[in-house]
């Protein structure tokens, strides 16, 4: 049975949330303050599945509380936090997301919204933790990660996006082929395949509403999605047995001309594997269905890769990708 802790200084809000969740078989613990929550977690040792946290509270507000929690909880033991707020401003939401909140629920509370988001985040968090634990366990047993486990995690990430189907697997395959043609050893090809599979793992920390938005993102939504390379980096750096695994996750959105993110690296400052994955990722984005368009024609894709040489892409790896396109006479390299 799922266990939710709601922290709010308003008795009405605590009772409203508790009533809705208990009616659907959730266990609910209601607390009045941040200090009560800290005692509940770190003195009494309780570990709920989710914390619903009010932002505006006396003595200690929600931002102060989440900062303390994220400092004291390791990556593998972080409890997902959803803010409850009456503030509809983008600035408040962005601040919370950057500090590690999973989502926001606006007041007044609508039962269907509360139940949907609470259930989704608990399920997603369990999947994430289960996959990370499985990866770490397998890593301790052998020198390389189990491909099956990594593919399962990649599929879980792809499942967040309504409009992707096998994106991570295709990016991994294209990256491996580019690396092979460039002269990578079999072991190096296997490594970059794993990096490609998990390059988007950070999207687990981006709200579904943003990832699946049918239309252009606002500036604030774009800022939120741009956080995913740093989230992916934090997750994959925990896998000590493969220290290079996080390379693709952190730097696949860097650009060769230095205008990318999250670090604004330029040219060969960007690690080689990330430069390869960047080309593969862009190619698959253009050759996959999206809510607003179909797969782009092959000649358009080729022209875009050519156009991006030296600006978006490393020219060497862009040329290899173009070679692969030219050999694909029947245009088979795209989403099925």
Residues carrying an active site annotation: 203
Distance CA(184)–CA(218), nearest Å, equals 40
- Spacing of C-alpha 202 from chain mean position: 2
> Is the separation of the CB atoms in 5 and 29 below 8 Å?
yes
Sheet containing 103-106, strands listed edge to edge, beginning at the edge strand earlier in sequence? 27-31, 3-7, 50-54, 81-85, 103-106
Distance CA(296)–CA(134), nearest Å, equals 37
Of 137, 100, 143, nearest to 234 by C-alpha is: 100
Q: How far is CA 14 from CA 23, 51, 165, 168, 309, in A?
A: 14, 12, 40, 41, 56
Residue 248 has, within 13 A of its CA and on its CB side, a CA count of 25
Which residue carries 């460039």 as its tokens? 182
Q: How far is CA 317 from CA 177, 229, 235, 249, 261, in A?
A: 11, 21, 27, 18, 19
- On the question of a cis peptide bond just before residue 108, with omega within 30 degrees of 0, the verdict is yes
Distance CA(54)–CA(65), nearest Å, equals 10
**Token representation of residue 319:** 């040329």
């Amino acid at each position: 049975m799922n266990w939710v802790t709601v922290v709010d200084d308003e008795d009405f809000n605590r009772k409203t949330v508790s009533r809705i969740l208990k009616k659907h078989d959730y266990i609910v613990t209601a607390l009045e303050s941040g200090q009560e929550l800290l005692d509940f977690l770190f003195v009494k040792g309780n570990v709920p599945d989710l914390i619903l946290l009010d932002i505006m509270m006396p003595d200690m507000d929600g931002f102060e509380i989440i900062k303390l929690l994220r400092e004291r909880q390791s990556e593998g033991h972080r409890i997902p936090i959803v803010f409850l707020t009456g503030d509809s401003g983008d600035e408040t939401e962005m601040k919370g997301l950057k500090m590690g909140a999973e989502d926001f629920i606006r007041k007044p509370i609508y039962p269907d919204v509360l139940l949907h988001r609470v259930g989704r985040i608990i399920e997603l968090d369990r999947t994430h933790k289960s996959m990370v634990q499985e990866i770490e366990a397998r890593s301790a047993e052998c020198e390389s990660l189990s491909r099956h486990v990594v593919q399962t995690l990649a599929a879980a990430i792809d499942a967040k996006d309504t409009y992707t189907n096998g994106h991570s697997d295709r990016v991994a395959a294209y990256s491996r082929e580019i690396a092979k043609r460039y002269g990578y050893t079999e072991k190096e090809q296997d490594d970059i395949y794993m990096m490609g599979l998990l390059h988007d793992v950070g999207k687990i920390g981006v709200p579904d509403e943003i990832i699946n938005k049918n239309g252009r993102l606002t500036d604030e939504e774009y800022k939120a999605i741009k956080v995913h390379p740093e989230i992916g980096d934090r997750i994959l750096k925990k896998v000590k047995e493969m220290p290079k695994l996080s390379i693709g996750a952190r730097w696949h959105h860097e650009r060769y001309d230095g205008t990318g993110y999250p670090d604004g690296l330029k040219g060969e400052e960007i690690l080689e594997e990330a430069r390869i994955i960047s080309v593969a990722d862009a190619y698959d984005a253009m050759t996959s269905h999206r809510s607003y368009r179909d797969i782009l024609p092959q000649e358009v894709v080729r022209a875009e890769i050519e156009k991006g040489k030296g600006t978006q892409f490393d020219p060497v790896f862009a040329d290899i990708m173009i070679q692969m396109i030219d050999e694909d006479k029947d245009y088979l390299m795209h989403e099925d």
